[in-house]
Structure 1
Amino acid sequence: MDDESLPPETGVGRVALTVRNLGEVTEFYESVVGLVVHERTGERAVLGDGETALLELREDRSTPERPRSAAGLFHTAFRVPSRGGLGDALERLEGQWRLSGTADHLVSEALYCRDPAGNGVEIYWDRPRSAWEETPDGGVRMATEPLDATGVRQAATGEAAVPAGTDVGHVHLEVTDLDAARAFYDDALGMTVRTTYDGALFLAAGEYHHHVGANVWNERSTPASGRGLDWFELCLPTEDAVTAACDRLEGAGYAVEVARDGVRVTDPDGIELHLRS
């Protein structure tokens, strides 16, 4: 790693959502996605894989819905460690909810749906990195092809909860301008563009396929506001790496705020990012 890049050990930490009905949304993430409730109070729930917190939900009935024009969350992507875990997720979704899509992305196999509040959700597993193909420019080859749903179902193990080791593999955002997103996440923060689609960027620390996706497919035109994504977190391996990232961000003109558990910065669309070691 150099001082201009995030360490390859960087990963996504927690994702925080503001919702109107905490009970309904918590039930979805527990029974359908398969997360485990770690903490629950009157207006807050924390869920994860039983060991690590992955999702924080906060109830706020006074916050309005996210405007159709506003930037924000496209989906939170929960990564299970095996195809069997994906098969279990497919059984839960088909039995208790409704899929909005499935895909084979070459590097991964994925299921898509929306939670009761309308937030996008992806559940996926990664193929071994030895199976990933590199593009001529040094990126990673990705596509959207039909999922072998039969093979995924056959891999199911019958588990009602996600396996230990499940994490948030990436967060996909809806942004207003791809150039501005690239200037923040690539040039300032220190990620690398791993691949592009028409109207989308996929960025990562190191050689992962992506930790952050950004798209303009729905032509969002105003900063993030309303219910939905509150913040998301990147976990870096050392305090020195956090300091280096902060120096890059401040050098590029972004305001960094020191918080109790790390630092906070806002991207060009008003989306709050937390960094911690």
Structure 2
Amino acid sequence: MLGRLSWLALEVKYLDRARTFYEERLGLTVREDRDGELALGAGETDLVLRRPEGYPRGGLHTHFAFSIPEAEYDDWWDRLGEAYDLEEARFGPARSLYLYDPDGNCVELGQQDVAGPGIDGIFEVVLEVEDLDRARSFYEDLGFETVDEGADRKRVRLQGPMALELWEPHLGIADARGGVHVDLGFETDDPGAALDAVRDRVRSIDREDEESVVVRDPDGHVLTFRSG
């Protein structure tokens, strides 16, 4: 039902500081420099950095994962390890490193089957939710599929345009937390059909027209379904 992830928006206090981290440390390129926000390219997805000056706000303490080519992992570790206290996790044969940006978001760089060079997409986003079953049902009706459940029953992993982790409040790897009031944009062939699938459970409908629909999910995360 939903196509690719178009954007993930983060709330930042100081645009210059956040831009330095993502542009100079992580090698992202600024695509748009708008009043109060920046959009940087992460493969086909925009990472939006947004000042807290209106709505929708970007996500706070959001844990998300960038895709990097497998062969580049050691170079990234060596480069970032000079300035940051990194943590590593393994998922089968794949490795991921974790660090924090200046605004407290937990940034993961994980080995994925991507061309690169450098960061080439966002493959995971973590949302904090109040009721795990309610949130899972909502996102399954948007076409996501449950692929894993945490043994502690505090998280569930779904797969769709990217991996979507739904967490009840807790600390994960590298003491990461799920994001609150996260802003996600998706391309879809039929924004109205996406809305109809969850219309009875959204917190609000902020926009509805033929080209795009903007809703807030039951936990207040902002979702945009846009024709593409």
TM-score by length of 2: 0.79
Counterpart mapping for 1:236-275 below 5 A = 236=188, 239-240=189-190, 242-250=191-199, 252-254=200-202, 255-256=204-205, 257-258=207-208, 262-275=212-225
Q: Report SS of the residue matched to 2:130.
A: coil
- Structure 1 residue 95 corresponds to structure 2 residue 44: no
- Structure 1 residue 218 corresponds to structure 2 residue 158: no
Aligned residues: 213
Counterpart residue type for residue 198 of structure 2: L
Pairwise CA distance, 1:84: 2.4
For residues 130 and 112 of structure 2, what CA distance do their matches in structure 1 show? 29
Counterpart mapping for 1:1-277 below 5 A = 6=1, 10-41=3-34, 43-49=36-42, 52-60=44-52, 73-80=61-68, 82-99=69-86, 101-106=87-92, 108-126=94-112, 163=117, 166-186=120-140, 188-197=141-150, 198=152, 199-205=154-160, 211-218=163-170, 230-236=182-188, 239-240=189-190, 242-250=191-199, 252-254=200-202, 255-256=204-205, 257-258=207-208, 262-276=212-226, 277=228
The verdict on how the C-alpha distance between 1:270 and 1:191 changes in structure 2, with shifts beyond 3 A counting, is same
The verdict on how the C-alpha distance between 1:173 and 1:127 changes in structure 2, with shifts beyond 3 A counting, is same
The structure that is strand-richer by fraction is 2
For residues 23 and 193 of structure 2, what CA distance do their matches in structure 1 show? 37
The verdict on how the C-alpha distance between 1:190 and 1:61 changes in structure 2, with shifts beyond 3 A counting, is closer
Moved more, 10-19 or 101-110: 101-110
CA deviations 1:119-158 (Å, max 9, x no partner) are 1211112269xxxxxxxxxxxxxxxxxxxxxxxxxxxxxx
| Aligned equivalent of 2:176 | none
For residues 210 and 23 of structure 2, what CA distance do their matches in structure 1 show? 28
Pairwise CA distance, 1:92: 2.8
**Sequence identity of aligned pairs in percent?**
28
CA contact (8 A) 1:174 1:215 kept: yes
The verdict on how the C-alpha distance between 1:89 and 1:61 changes in structure 2, with shifts beyond 3 A counting, is farther
The verdict on how the C-alpha distance between 1:105 and 1:273 changes in structure 2, with shifts beyond 3 A counting, is same
Pairwise CA distance, 1:114: 1.3
Q: 5+ residue gaps in structure 1? A: 1-5, 129-161, 220-226
Counterpart residue type for residue 84 of structure 1: A
| Aligned equivalent of 1:158 | none
CA contact (8 A) 2:9 2:48 kept: yes
Q: 5+ residue gaps in structure 2? A: 172-178
CA contact (8 A) 2:41 2:47 kept: yes
For residues 165 and 98 of structure 1, what CA distance do their matches in structure 2 show? 20
CA deviations 1:155-186 (Å, max 9, x no partner) are xxxxxxx6277111121112222112112111
TM-score by length of 1: 0.66
Q: Report SS of the residue matched to 1:96.
A: coil
| Aligned equivalent of 1:147 | none
